[in-house]
Amino acid sequence: MLRSADELLAPALEETLVKLQLADADAALVKLARRYAETLDAGAELADHVERAWEELDPEDQKGRRRLAMIEAKLVGRAALADLGPKLLATLQALGATPAARARRKGTGGGDAGPNRLQQLRATRRA
């Protein structure tokens, strides 16, 4: 089943990345974020295919049922969200692509964490 672009993470991630002012040094994190988003999107689509295949499979087709069960056992589409979701979020935080991360970069909040090392160096240089 084709998914609407509104349901996909990869296009939403691309929109976010375009709006960020990232340095060349962020290239690996950007690539990692893209890989996570694409994997999550692909996993969700594969899970939909397996679910539809179960519905269409003849109950008497034991060989087909075994094959589909093996595919389903290897498919981690739904479990990938539990595993990759937090990793994607951590990657986005490292890129400064979350509200909390942006607040920390600007020094306008983001929790009890004081100034990061870069902010300390900048303050020392200004002084």
One digit per residue, the tens of pLDDT, for the chain of length 127 reads 556 767 899 999 999 999 988 888 788 888 888 988 888 888 778 878 888 999 999 999 999 999 988 888 777 555 666 677 788 888 888 888 887 887 887 775 545 556 777 888 888 888 7
- Which residue bears the tokens 């692909």? 42
φ/ψ (deg, to 5) at 108: -110, 25
pLDDT at site 91: 86
pLDDT at site 127: 77
pLDDT at site 89: 85
The Cβ of residue 39 has, within 10 Å, a number of other Cβ atoms equal to 19
Residues 68 and 57: beta-carbon distance below 8 Å: yes
User: What does each C-alpha distance from 55 to 38, 86, 105 come to in angstroms?
Assistant: 26, 31, 50
pLDDT at site 33: 87
> Strand, helix or coil at 104?
helix
Residues 93 and 101: beta-carbon distance below 8 Å: yes
Amino acid letter for position 94: A
Token pair in block for residue 35:
């890989």
pTM listed for this prediction: 0.56
